[in-house]
Amino acid sequence: MSLTSSRPRVARAASRPSSAGRLQAWLPRLVLAPSVAISLFFVYGFMLWTFILSLTNSRLLPSYEFVGFGQYARLMANERWWVASTNLMIFGGLFVLICLALGAFLAILLDQRIRQEGALRTIYLYPMALSFIVTGVVWKWLLNPGLGIQAMVRSWGFESFTFDWLVNPDMAVYTLVIAAVWQASGFVMALFLAGLRGIDDSIIKAAQLDGASLPRIYLRVVVPCLRPVVFSAVMILAHIAIKSFDLVVALTGGGPGYASDLPATFMYAHAFTRAQIGLGSASAMLMLGGVLAILIPYLYSELRGRKHG
């Protein structure tokens, strides 16, 4: 089929402003319509639906008997929810900070004309291709006190070496940080490296001519240029942290007890296994609130920045 052979037919169709022509004008809208409808129903509709469920006393099955904000009050009085929320603060905070620090550090080092840079980059980034379930299973094995890292170091002669965070209620949440940093820090490195490569060399050359030292150049010239990268990295990492569900399930199972629960596992446990649909919905709405709390300032500054720029 060539472009020329059917041109007359097309031209004829266009020449009369008939139903075919009108159809052409509406086609883009028709093509978009299903996706918009899907979005309205499955995203916005479902959000509203979950909100409505969170106002009811639904337990095993959805009921539509309204109890106002009672479920939210129950949630606020629920100790497990507070453990989960506090854990999210600890996990999210450390995860974001360590990923940023490690990612920036590795990116700066890799940017020093390193031989085998490609191979190193590939190694740093591959965990991002794995499922959090795989990551959880592997780290569960590494952190297993009896057979993992603790046992290995002890077999080297350090008999009193202890690394039992996985089974220690006070420390279990930090094992999530280790595994998540392992998985995502290479990605942050890639973001920073792309940012570094995007900086105009002439600015750095000028600073060098002025006699600025290398650390000083990084602090005063490079870091300010990377602000947008930091911003989007924080955004993505915070988002990963709030959604973290599979990693907890595979690595700690939320345990010991519920010591390493996160809101995502709390919601799943209550909505799907503990027959507390109302309470689960309320916790899901609060998770949404958390995402919006980081998303809205981000979008705001993005839009404002674009208008100025």
In terms of CB distance, is 29 or 308 closer to another protein? 29
Q: What is the dihedral of CA 33, 34, 39, 41, to 10 degrees?
A: 110
Measured distance CA(85)–CA(179) in Å, rounded: 19
| Nearest residue (CB) to another protein, 133 versus 223 | 133
Q: Cα separation of 151 and 158, whole Å?
A: 10
Distance CA 252, CA 171 (A): 11
Q: How far is the CB of 60 from another protein (least distance, A)?
A: 12
Residue number, 83 or 285, with CB nearest to another protein? 285
Min dist CB 152 to another protein, Å, is: 4
At closest approach, how far in Å is the CB of 172 from another protein? Answer: 16
The CA distance from 37 to 205, in Å, is 53
Contact 221, 203 (CB under 8 A): yes
Q: Which residue's entry shows tokens 């100025």?
A: 308
User: For the purposes of burial, counting CB atoms within 10 Å of the CB of 64, is it exposed (0-12), middle (13-18) or buried (19 or more)?
Assistant: exposed
Shortest approach of another protein to residue 300 CB, angstroms?
13
Closer to another protein by CB, 177 or 233: give it.
Answer: 233
Q: How many CB atoms lie within 10 A of CB 88?
A: 22
SS3 56: strand
Phi and psi, residue 255, nearest 5°: -95, -170
Least Å from the CB of residue 131 to another protein:
4
As measured in angstroms, the least distance from the Cβ of 273 to another protein is: 11
**Nearer to another protein (CB atom), residue 110 or residue 173:** 110
Cβ proximity to another protein, 52 vs 97, nearer residue: 52
